[in-house]
A and B are shown apart, each in its own frame.
Chain A
Amino acid sequence: MSTDLLVQERRHRWRARPELGALLAAAAVFLFFAVVADSFLRASSIGTVLYAASTIGIMAVPVALLMIGGEFDLSAGVLVTTAALASAMVSYQLTAVTWVGVLVSLLVALAIGAFNGWLLGRTRLPSFIVTLGTFLMLTGANLGVTKLVSGTVSTKPISDMQGFESCRLLFASEVTVGGLTIKATVWWWLGLVAVGSWVLLRTSFGNWVFAVGGDAAAARAVGVPVARTKTCLYLGVAFCAWVLGQHLLFSFGTVQSGEGVGNELIYIVAAVIGGCLITGGYGSVAGSALGALIFGMASKGIVYAEWDPDWFKFFLGAMLLLAALLNSYVKHRAERGR
């Protein structure tokens, strides 16, 4: 192969990357708010935007992987709350070191993820229905169990318990450098994006994910363990929900049982903006991070721009739609270029 061909080949590979459109859209949203919102470029504002993006991005990583694998998880939003509640209540009720609650909570979250995957594999029902069921069950259980155990709708504060500080260091600490405050969730987010990308692009498991999402029957025919792959993806969602749940608990000390509803759609939106196809088989983890960043910038940028809050959701929807349009435009051009 001549050097010329190699360069051309490389350029095509770059242009066909699923996250290219999202990268341009993110740059466009950033420039837009840098111009229209005075306080958007301050160091402290950038910290706030990154924090908002990270709390979406942590979940967008496994949700993107799951979507590439051809499935949805509508229970992802409330699962975060479940993980936080489990941790808080176990620690408080047993008067245990908070690490006990953290570990039990991990088991609870993974059990729910495994249940989602198992049910999907056994019943062959659409994941939309299966996880809609678990979503509703968890929403009810979050309130029901919390009320039963704590007597109120939120958990009792655990901020004075042993182990809280060290847990906080891991899940909810922050570092301030020159006015820019970086929360622990940002590191978790970057780490998860790196691990997720590596798994997807460099391991055989990653190939299986693309295969089961592209054509499950064909994948099964060539010997890919379809059900096991999908269960692993649901376990990934559960793990990340656990991380984010612990963050919420250790930054606020208490957890409200009714939260998390609706966030599952935001995670899916971040993955889709980042280039994941709703039909599965195509997408990227880095793209989901860009999607989360776009969502974080748009949702906070509107506040910094001091636009009428009554129109907040309208602006947010319009920004996301524009970002998605730019994304698909770029992708089509790239594909035609090939």
Chain B
Amino acid sequence: MTADQDGGVARVRRTVALVLLLALAAGCSSTGGLRAERAREKASAGAGTAVTTPRWRVAMVTHAGAGDAFWDTVRKGAEQAAAKDNITFLYSNDAQTQGQVQLVQAAIDQKVDGLLVTLAKGEAMTEVLGKAKAAGIPVISLNSGAEFSARLGALTHVGQDESTAGQAAGTALAGRGRHSVLCVIHEQGNVGQEQRCAGAHSTFAGPLQTLYVTGTNLPDARAAIAAKLQADQAVDTVLTLSAPLAATALQAVADARRPVETDTFDLGTDVVAGLKSGAVGFAVDQQPYLQGYEGVDLLWLYRSNLDMLGGGHPVLTGPQVLTKADADRLAEYVARGTR
């Protein structure tokens, strides 16, 4: 190969690199994307730690399935409070009773300084929480199972009363003049979900049916809801119990080609978009971010100052009924994952 050819190759390479660089610069989006997300995160993150307490470890054990947006928001709240309170936050979850009990036991083995636990399976947690108490670990219950909280030795409960939330939904349904409602339960065996549907039934005068779907298999849930809507022409409202299911119900309504309103518990990007467009009538929110945040913060307050908010009564984080009027402000917070 001659020197001239060598120089030619180098020139070509330089040109290609330059073109690529220019393409990259011109291809940058000035809106959205990762950069916008970073900016939002920066805005939401606080100034850094300010407490003087030692590094404590707090474990949260939930009954959630893997990859649930709701629990991601709870964790974001908990992590924010943990960062502020100089706490190492450990999270684990198992949808099955036995698995969750074993994870609580694992947290006790790890000698954590505080324990946050969901009581969706109520009774079953009695024994293992007794062990936490014997090991001197303060426990706060979270999200579901307020009725078990005090009996099982938790300091307090942070969450929404599911029956009250259901009643709020029933009242809102009645206020919107709905006639026949389909309540979609997506976690078989979750007492809280049953209570929501029952609560809605108690304040809503018309017929309310329940439909069981598998929350971890959304295409299947979509087909099941659509089939039900096609089979039962009287149903004019679908009430879902979580944001992913609301999005699924919106698709199912489109599949069924019928003017059916979707209402839901919990928030998500699709729900807020739906509120904005009118496809979703209302959302009953229990403010998951607040549950994680307050859970960790209350444990910190208890350990550092023996404080307990609510004096042993549940600290309620909901229900907050959100409608079209709130959609614009919510959109930003939902996008950054804190609502």
Contact = CB atoms under 8 A, between A and B. Distances in A.
B123 A252 contact: yes
Contact of B191 (A143, A153, A306, A313): A153
A303 B92 contact: yes
A55 B101 CA distance: 12
B188 interface: yes
Contacts of A251: 101, 124, 127
B193 to A, nearest CB: 9
Interface stretch (B103-111, B251-259, B281-289, B306-314): B103-111
A306 to B, nearest CB: 6
B126 A300 contact: no
How big is chain B's contact interface, by range? 20 to 34
B110 A256 contact: no
Contacts of A253: 123-124, 126
Interface stretch (A40-48, A114-122, A223-231): A40-48
B91 interface: yes
Nearest to A253: B123
The A contact surface, by secondary structure, is helix
B144 interface: no
A254 interface: yes
Contacts of A306: 90, 110
A51 B104 CA distance: 13
A143 B190 CA distance: 12
- Of the listed residues B91, B92, B107, B189, the one surrounded by the most CB atoms of chain A closer than 10 A to its CB is B189
A258 interface: yes
B103 A153 contact: no
Contacts of B107: 303
Contact of B92 (A143, A252, A309): A309
Nearest to B112: A39
B105 A48 contact: yes
A45 B191 contact: no
Contacts of B124: 251-254, 256
B109 A48 contact: yes
B102 A143 contact: no
Contacts of A263: 96
Given A42-B109, A248-B98, A258 B188 contact: yes
A153 B121 CA distance: 11
B137 to A, nearest CB: 12
Contacts of A159: 123
A157 B123 contact: yes
A105 interface: no
A329 interface: no
A309 B98 CA distance: 18
Contacts of B187: 258
A99 interface: no
A220 B193 CA distance: 53
B110 A39 contact: yes
B262 interface: no
A252 B109 CA distance: 20
B66 interface: yes
B333 interface: no
A256 B97 contact: yes
A260 B123 CA distance: 18
A157 B191 CA distance: 14
A154 interface: yes
Interface string A158-187: 010000000000000000000000000000
Interface residues of A, number: 33
A45 B102 CA distance: 10
Interface in B96-136: 96-98, 101-103, 105-111, 121-124, 126-127
B194 interface: yes
Contact of B106 (A257, A258, A303, A313): A303
A55 B121 CA distance: 19
A154 B109 contact: no
A252 B97 contact: yes
A259 B102 CA distance: 15
B93 interface: yes
B66 A312 contact: yes
Contacts of A248: 97-98
B102 to A, nearest CB: 5
A66 to B, nearest CB: 22
Interface string B66-94: 11000000000000000000000011110
Given A153-B194, A312-B66, A256 B92 contact: no
A157 B151 CA distance: 15
Given A309-B93, A312-B66, A39 B109 contact: yes
Nearest to A38: B110
Contacts of B93: 309
A35 to B, nearest CB: 17
A154 B107 CA distance: 26
A71 B196 CA distance: 43
A279 interface: no
A304 interface: yes
B127 A48 contact: no
A310 B212 CA distance: 27
A42 B249 CA distance: 48
A193 interface: no
A152 interface: yes
A52 interface: yes
A134 to B, nearest CB: 18
B124 to A, nearest CB: 4
Interface of A: 39, 42, 44-45, 48, 51-52, 55, 143, 152-154, 157, 159, 248, 251-254, 256-260, 263, 300, 303-304, 306, 309-310, 312-313
24 contacts: A45-B106, A45-B109, A51-B105, A52-B102, A143-B212, A152-B191, A154-B121, A157-B123, A251-B101, A252-B101, A252-B123, A252-B126, A254-B124, A256-B121, A256-B189, A258-B188, A259-B98, A300-B106, A303-B103, A304-B109, A304-B110, A309-B91, A310-B66, A312-B66
Given A153-B194, A312-B66, 17 more contacts: A45-B109, A55-B98, A152-B194, A153-B188, A154-B121, A154-B191, A159-B123, A252-B121, A252-B124, A256-B188, A300-B106, A303-B103, A303-B110, A304-B109, A309-B92, A310-B66, A310-B67
